[in-house]
Amino acid sequence: MAQGRQGQGRGAAAEAGGPLDQAGVTPAEIQRMFDSYALMQAQDQLKITDEQFPQFLPRFKTLQDVRRKALQDRARILNELRQLVNAPQPDETQMKDRLKALADVDARAADEARKAQDAVDQVLDVRQQAKFRVFEENMERRKLELVTRARQANRKQQ
Amino acid sequence: MHLTPDQLVDIADGTQPESSAPHLAECAACRQQLIDLRAMMAAATDVDVPEPSPLFWAHLSSRVAEAVSAEPARTGWNWWLRVATPFALATAAALAIAFVATTRLIAPHTTESPSGVTFVAERPPLPSETLAPEVTDPSLLMMADLVGNIDFDSAREAGLASRGSAEHAVTHMTEGELQQLHDLLQHELNKSSD
């Protein structure tokens, strides 16, 4: 792997973890570190070449951002629906509006995620595309393992 | 303080009104848990429950069998496992509901004997009760109760660990846990850079 790309990875690691030592750790910082970790693991496991990397990096990040934003948008509208449902006098007009918004978000999210996935696939060969699907499953598992280990380590410290 | 699994179940099944838990109004996570729980309960009562993959049943049935054979001392509860197993094999959702409902119904019952001696039947601890006391996140406690010792693969097969669940868990971690996770991730990132 090229030194420049590795250097970029180290830069991402330092950027993701650097300021936290002084200011405490927030969930947002952890999510940035998760993204950096996923990127570095993807480079390694998919054997991304130096030619692929400049195109793979922004497309992979877009895919992550699209998924995360879809989850956030969905949660926001569900929260609005919850408030409408729990209101003393539910406003059905607003409910219809929010239901439509939810359907729109779902449809848009699916479309954007598919496009983002297609964009990633365009950079990868068929084997890498297959590995990428497996990689994403394994990465979710790995993240959960790290969360569990962090909880256990914190428990032992107390 | 987040709502406990018992409180969430009480509200979801209508035993308690939502107004009994003012915390719901200010906690999006607990509200989401309630919505998820209601959806799960509704799904469990649906006749046409889709059949999960054979891999899930293989995992689950072998684990139930192992648990029964590994704990002969709990003979008083073998009947419960025998009752629970068919439910588990029927549907994952039904298993979750049966587990919560059964443990709520059977524990603890007190019976007065003719001689005046009181017998108290104690239920086995819920998985969530075996967690460290500082683990208060209701989503984690409920997940622990629902899946017990089911591993990640089985949980994923049953649709209980969706994409983004790790990041959701992060939003409920304590400062100490976040610091530990940060250190672990930093170590992993450094390792990957080498």
Query: How far away is chain B from the Cα of A125, in angstroms, using its nearest Cα?
Result: 23
A16 neighbourhood in chain B, CB within 8 Å = 185, 189
Three-state DSSP at B120 gives strand
Does any domain span residue A6?
no
Does any domain span residue A58?
yes
A32 neighbourhood in chain B, CB within 8 Å = none
More confident residue, B66 or A61: A61
Q: What is the pLDDT of residues A112-122, one digit of tens each?
A: 999 999 999 99
Does any domain span residue A17?
no
Number of structural domains in chain A? 1
The mean pLDDT of B142-160, rounded to a whole number, is 56
**Residue-level length of chain A:** 158
Query: How far away is chain B from the Cα of A114, in angstroms, using its nearest Cα?
Result: 15
CA distance B90 to B97: 12
Q: Is the pLDDT of residue A136 over 60?
A: yes
Any idea which of A35-49, B15-29, B35-49, B114-128 has the lowest mean pLDDT? B114-128
Does any domain span residue A123?
yes
Q: Is the pLDDT of residue B147 over 70?
A: no
CA A127 to each of CA A131, A136, A139, B161: distance values in angstroms, whole numbers, following the listed order:
6, 14, 18, 26
Residue B112: its pLDDT value, please?
46
More confident residue, A59 or B159: A59
CA distance B124 to B5: 16
CA distance A98 to A11: 42
CA distance B174 to B172: 7
What ipTM is given for this predicted complex? 0.73
Q: Measure CA of the first residue to CA of the last residue in chain A; give whole Å.
A: 41
pTM: 0.51
Residue B79: its pLDDT value, please?
57
Residue B120: its pLDDT value, please?
57
CA distance B149 to B127: 8
CB A56 within 8 A of CB A120: yes
CA distance A11 to A39: 12
**Residue with tokens 């750790």, as numbered in its chain:** A25
CA distance A35 to A29: 10
B165 neighbourhood in chain A, CB within 8 Å = 140, 144
Range of A47's domain? 26-157
More confident residue, B103 or A17: B103
Identify the band that residue A42 occupies on the pLDDT scale cut at 50, 70 and 90: very high
